[in-house]
Chains A and B, each alone.
Chain A
């Protein structure tokens, strides 16, 4: 990894996008990177569309505005696709990661995604229901992101989950989250 990596998260309030952006940033920090993670605060109602941002770099980060040209866009809720232009500003050779049960070709056609933008799909909601027992797709989505991009490694992510969730949650909940990360890393498809 080198240079500045900018990630924009699209989700609905309550799906854990802010936590996801912070989890990724914390993991990168523990691996020696400079980081930023920030939500874009709008109406704070569960279900409202929201954006969050992460910056990861090997040098100190001076920028303090919203990310307008992300290299990576992550969508935690595909019902947003019809109301938010998730491709806005996405780098021409960037990555779009979606929580969906549909396949890459369908997404590429439907959203008219240019050929140089890679698309990664993972059924993060399904994995979350299977492992954690609730449709909180953030942790498996970060697992898929780590696997596809190597922004952080899956192992580093799991280590950070153990440390940061260890204070708040029971061992069973942590194990379920770790399992969700492993499954997402195995199941994510990127083309």
Chain B
């Protein structure tokens, strides 16, 4: 039986605990707000001898990911954490990690990108990484940041997956808020994560392998990239299996799409991360008034759960997508584009509206969510078009 400790802990503290329990061989990182406490706590665990990890303090995030790539290619279990400009600085390395099929686990404290400078929570940083070949998980709470971070190792290192995994939590809202959280005991987590046996390590003295080689014009390069897509497309069953195995231990459900009262819902908001709870609070309020509102929260963002999501949304009269970043010049924000594509692919022409919200940490009040649900009713009635709009700004 798993032993559970109830803690008042921040999301950062819970991710650091998950990393300690997964006991990576190498963790290379550079501090950046609002992620710093993850690395800070982890460094303390190393200094106190609570985890035996080679902690590499580097001079930039580019170097952090480079060190992670080297260590992972060598055959080590590897983790790191970053945020915002740090994630942006890693951009070229993110592709190398996935292209070399290295199961690195990285926490990202979702934060705005400059300019103007802003240290607060939104999804601009992680959305820039959505096409890099990483599996991407979004947490709603500190608890889920812990759960996702534990699950991440099992997904990444699965022999049929072998892809890097980003486990994300919203800057400040989740990283810095203290919440009631449950920590499972070290032995249970270690047994769940299991030992890592790399298939093609550079440094076991036996296997002959090469990583990150030159691939000639067209041919091999193209094939390897095709294989990369096949790998992430095929990863969903393994993600579900890892999530469900963890759910069986901790008692908290796992689903790529957390659908709340969507079965009979007329109006559904699709949301990622920490704003989901507020959406449910408003949806509950509307249901009390006889308005059938639902909330579909995407927990696994890459690979995108397009089939599950289309099923969840199939009966809705109108769907609103909450986008905490923008895809400038596109018809919708990034999540809106994904959701619309999923609907179209399923033959569902449900009217949608895309809402840019909460940029730079703008508070997501219940009022702005009431506004969104109100607009969905107007949209279903044909009184409003399907354009992109904004919540909570002038």
Give chain A's interface residues, CB within 8 Å of chain B: 22, 25-26, 29, 33-39, 41, 60-66, 68
CA of A174 to CA of B176, assembled, Å: 26
Q: Tell whether A64 pairs with B8 under 8 Å between CB atoms, given A37-B177, A37-B178.
A: no
Report which of A22, A35, A39, A68 forms a contact with B180, defined as CB distance below 8 A: A35
Give chain B's interface residues, CB within 8 Å of chain A: 6-8, 119-120, 140-141, 172-174, 176-180, 274-275, 277-278, 280-281, 363-366
CA of A33 to CA of B179, assembled, Å: 11
Shortest Cβ distance from A160 into B: residue: B8
In contact, A39 and B277 (Cβ under 8 angstroms): no
In contact, A35 and B179 (Cβ under 8 angstroms): yes
CA of A29 to CA of B177, assembled, Å: 14
Report which of B119, B174, B178, B364 forms a contact with A65, defined as CB distance below 8 A: B364
In contact, A38 and B278 (Cβ under 8 angstroms): no
Measured between beta carbons, the chain A residues less than 8 angstroms from B275 are 64
Q: Tell whether A39 pairs with B278 under 8 Å between CB atoms, given A22-B8, A26-B8, A65-B364.
A: no
In contact, A65 and B8 (Cβ under 8 angstroms): no
In contact, A35 and B119 (Cβ under 8 angstroms): no
Measured between beta carbons, the chain A residues less than 8 angstroms from B173 are 38, 64
In contact, A22 and B364 (Cβ under 8 angstroms): no
9 A-B contacts (beta carbon < 8 Å): A26-B8, A35-B179, A35-B180, A37-B8, A38-B173, A61-B277, A62-B278, A63-B277, A65-B366
In contact, B365 and A68 (Cβ under 8 angstroms): yes
A4 vs chain B, min Cβ distance (A):
10
Measured between beta carbons, the chain A residues less than 8 angstroms from B141 are 64
B35 vs chain A, min Cβ distance (A):
14
Q: Which 9 A-B pairs have the closest CB atoms?
A: A62-B277, A38-B177, A37-B178, A26-B8, A64-B274, A29-B8, A66-B363, A34-B180, A65-B363
Measured between beta carbons, the chain B residues less than 8 angstroms from A61 are 179, 277
Number of cross-chain contacts by CB at 8 Å: 59
Measured between beta carbons, the chain A residues less than 8 angstroms from B120 are 41
Measured between beta carbons, the chain B residues less than 8 angstroms from A22 are 8, 178
A79 vs chain B, min Cβ distance (A):
26
Measured between beta carbons, the chain B residues less than 8 angstroms from A35 are 8, 178-180
In contact, A36 and B274 (Cβ under 8 angstroms): no
Measured between beta carbons, the chain B residues less than 8 angstroms from A25 are 8, 178
A156 vs chain B, min Cβ distance (A):
14
Report which of B6, B172, B174, B277 forms a contact with A29, defined as CB distance below 8 A: B6
In contact, A62 and B280 (Cβ under 8 angstroms): yes
Shortest Cβ distance from A28 into B: residue: B8
CA of A37 to CA of B274, assembled, Å: 15
B273 vs chain A, min Cβ distance (A):
9
Shortest Cβ distance from B6 into A: residue: A29
Measured between beta carbons, the chain A residues less than 8 angstroms from B281 are 62-63
Residue with the greatest number of chain A CB neighbours at <10 A, chosen from B119, B173, B179? B179
In contact, A65 and B365 (Cβ under 8 angstroms): yes
In contact, B278 and A29 (Cβ under 8 angstroms): no
Shortest Cβ distance from A62 into B: residue: B277
Shortest Cβ distance from B366 into A: residue: A65
Taking A25-B178, A64-B140 as known contacts, 8 extra A-B pairs with beta carbons closer than 8 A to each other, sorted by chain A number, are A25-B8, A35-B179, A36-B178, A37-B178, A60-B180, A62-B277, A62-B281, A64-B173
Measured between beta carbons, the chain B residues less than 8 angstroms from A38 are 172-173, 176-178
Shortest Cβ distance from B140 into A: residue: A64
B370 vs chain A, min Cβ distance (A):
13
B145 vs chain A, min Cβ distance (A):
12
Measured between beta carbons, the chain A residues less than 8 angstroms from B178 are 22, 25-26, 35-38
Measured between beta carbons, the chain B residues less than 8 angstroms from A68 are 365
In contact, A65 and B179 (Cβ under 8 angstroms): no
Measured between beta carbons, the chain A residues less than 8 angstroms from B177 are 36-38, 64
A88 vs chain B, min Cβ distance (A):
14
CA of A29 to CA of B179, assembled, Å: 9
Shortest Cβ distance from B34 into A: residue: A41
A3 vs chain B, min Cβ distance (A):
14
CA of A66 to CA of B178, assembled, Å: 13
CA of A26 to CA of B8, assembled, Å: 6
CA of A37 to CA of B11, assembled, Å: 12
Measured between beta carbons, the chain B residues less than 8 angstroms from A63 are 277-278, 281
CA of A22 to CA of B176, assembled, Å: 11
